[in-house]
Amino acid sequence: MSGKCCVVTGGRGFAARHLVDMLIRSDKFLVRIADLPPAIDLSPEEENGDLGRALESGRASYVSMDLRNKPQVLQALKGAEVVFHMAAPHSGINNYQLHYSVNVEGTKNVIDACVELKVKILIFTSSASVVFDGIHPIFNGDESLPYPPKPLDSYSATKAEAEAAILKANGTNGLLTCSLRPSSIFGPGDKLFIPALAESARAGKSKFLIGDGNNVYDFTYVENVAHAHICAEQTLSSSGEAAEKAAGQAYFITNMEPIKFWEFTGNVCAGLGYERPRIKVPAIAVLPVAHAIQWAYNLLGTYGMKLPVLIPSRIRLLSGNRSFSCAKAHELLGYTPIVSLEDGLKRTIESFSHLNAENQPKREGESKASLYLGNGKVADTLLWKDTKKTLIVLLVLIGIYYSFISSNTTIITATSKLLLMAAIFLFVHGRLPEKIFGYKIEKIHPSDFYWTEKKSYQVAHVLASFWNAGINILESLCKGKDWLLFLEVVLSLLIIGFIGTISLHSLFVMGTLSFFYQLLYLAF
């Protein structure tokens, strides 16, 4: 077959598949797909489409390659004029060693192979996250932004290091390089964002949003990412000043249509038939939980624990502002999106029709959080099912906090205040008329406070049981033989003594935070 040869590393990945299809349709290249699996596995649509026909005719071929194996990289790139280096591990995998071995060491193998084999053009697929630390917002950021001292995660850190090596290699033995930084890729074939969002929505979690909901984001339709690679190749393969100016540079790639992150997410949810996010949860309240979950994953990940959704880097991504300017890519590469954000979203939702709410089995029973809370009035109040009751409880808790907790009162003073307030409330409540503005006032009868003989017996039985258990422990201690029991008693008393030194205010704060974080964990 005639035409120059190009190689797409990670050619079976999400964005890479779209680039391969675009390259095949251009009839300009012999396309070599390089990826980890020993053989290519085509879907029925691919087998009957352009890719299947190209593989059958010889215009496309597949080679198994591990970036960490330099001889395999040399073999895969042999005879190529252009290399699109798109291979990378799953960005959600929290494994620095894996990311470093593939993104950094693997990329160095690709660079060395390109130099040795005299490849003309090397185009690297980086990420907009290489300049985002999750703390400092980015509005219409350009390529002058430096790499942050503390990267967002191991994926971003290793991508930045690989990108720096790619740009540094420009001009070595005639090799022209550049790096493309797409921001938040979405589209048909996505195995990360859309499926995870649909799964969360099915679990009833789509109603929550993290932050104030106004953080601006840049999303990029996958075909625009593939188109940007084509633009880069055309520019670098052209002779003259245009190629020289474009080479050795990094470029942000977006749809050029910044949008609020949660508006876009809401559009996806609504398009799939799920509830839009509406309940705002402050990011500052979620981060401590995320750090705790991250710590647990770091400890238990090697034993099979799956990577949780609620980790610090994702919280920062979901609540931060990050939009980028494509002026440089437009000026030097001639890049302009070929699919609008609206059309891209429409095509994406249509391609995920199997995830539509109408096609999912109906979930029976209450949510996990509701079951944990007893599935009654407490659950209705804490999970905002009964808004009126929830607001009343919040007001009562705020009143208790400012009356007893924030003032650092002692337990005796707090008890006295509480009884005083109860007496005032009961007296005022008793003097109220039976109706106020049409609302009936239910009177409190003294009998409501009486304990029945059965209840009194149950309470006395519980107290007696505790007392007898304590006597049994004392009896065992007097024998001086049970060392384990002795240590348990000593440890328990030390813990009680430590808790006794903590102020009422501190106990309240710790208890409230612990309870709130548990609810968040159940919700997300």
The domain that contains 24 carries what CATH number? Answer: 3.40.50.720
Binned at pLDDT 50, 70 and 90, residue 307 comes out as low
Binned at pLDDT 50, 70 and 90, residue 510 comes out as low
**Which residues belong to the active site?**
159
Identify whether residues 383 and 334 lie together within a single domain: no
Candidate from 346-355, 363-372, 480-489 with smallest mean pLDDT: 363-372
Strands 249-253 and 60-64: unpaired
Read off the amino acid at residue 90: H
Helix (H) or strand (E) holding 30: strand 29-35
- Please state, in angstroms and as integers, the Cα–Cα distance from residue 182 to each residue in 108, 186, 202, following that order: 21, 10, 29
Handedness of CA 191, 196, 197, 202 (dihedral sign): positive
- Please state, in angstroms and as integers, the Cα–Cα distance from residue 440 to each residue in 244, 321, 443, 509, following that order: 83, 50, 9, 37
Residue at which a domain ends, from 312, 333, 359: 359
Identify whether residues 381 and 241 lie together within a single domain: no
Identify whether residues 85 and 218 lie together within a single domain: yes
Identify whether residues 292 and 372 lie together within a single domain: no
Does the pLDDT of residue 445 top 80, yes or no? no
DSSP state of 81: S
Does the pLDDT of residue 99 top 70, yes or no? yes
Read off the amino acid at residue 369: A
Residue at which a domain ends, from 359, 386, 410: 359
Across the chain, mean pLDDT equals 85
* HSE toward the beta carbon, residue 286, CA cutoff 13 A: 25
The predicted model scores a pTM of 0.72
Residue at which a domain ends, from 302, 325, 359: 359
Q: How many domains does the chain have?
A: 2
DSSP state of 66: -
Structure tokens that stand for 360 in this block: 């999912």
Does the pLDDT of residue 406 top 80, yes or no? no
Identify whether residues 314 and 233 lie together within a single domain: yes
Which range of residues forms the domain containing residue 378? 368-523
What confidence score (pLDDT) does residue 156 get?
94
Count of CB atoms situated within 10 Å of the CB of 11: 24
Identify whether residues 441 and 401 lie together within a single domain: yes
> Greater confidence, 467 or 68?
68
> 3-state class of 59 per DSSP?
coil
Identify whether residues 346 and 416 lie together within a single domain: no
Give the 3-state DSSP-derived string for 205-216, with helices as H, strands as E and coil as C.
CCCEEECCCCCE
Identify whether residues 196 and 257 lie together within a single domain: yes
What span, in angstroms and rounded, lies between the C-alpha atoms of 258 and 264?
A: 10
Q: What is the pLDDT of residues 6-23, one digit of tens each?
A: 999 999 999 999 999 999
Tokens 């990311």 belong to 99
Identify whether residues 171 and 309 lie together within a single domain: yes
Identify whether residues 352 and 379 lie together within a single domain: no
Structure tokens that stand for 29 in this block: 């290249």
Distance of CA 6 to the CA centre of its chain: 34
What span, in angstroms and rounded, lies between the C-alpha atoms of 359 and 198?
A: 12
Strands 439-440 and 435-436: antiparallel
What span, in angstroms and rounded, lies between the C-alpha atoms of 252 and 185?
A: 12
Identify whether residues 329 and 407 lie together within a single domain: no
Identify whether residues 350 and 299 lie together within a single domain: yes
Spell out the residues 6+ positions from residue 94 whose beta carbon is closer than 8 angstroms to its own. Answer: 153, 154, 294, 297, 298, 301, 307, 311
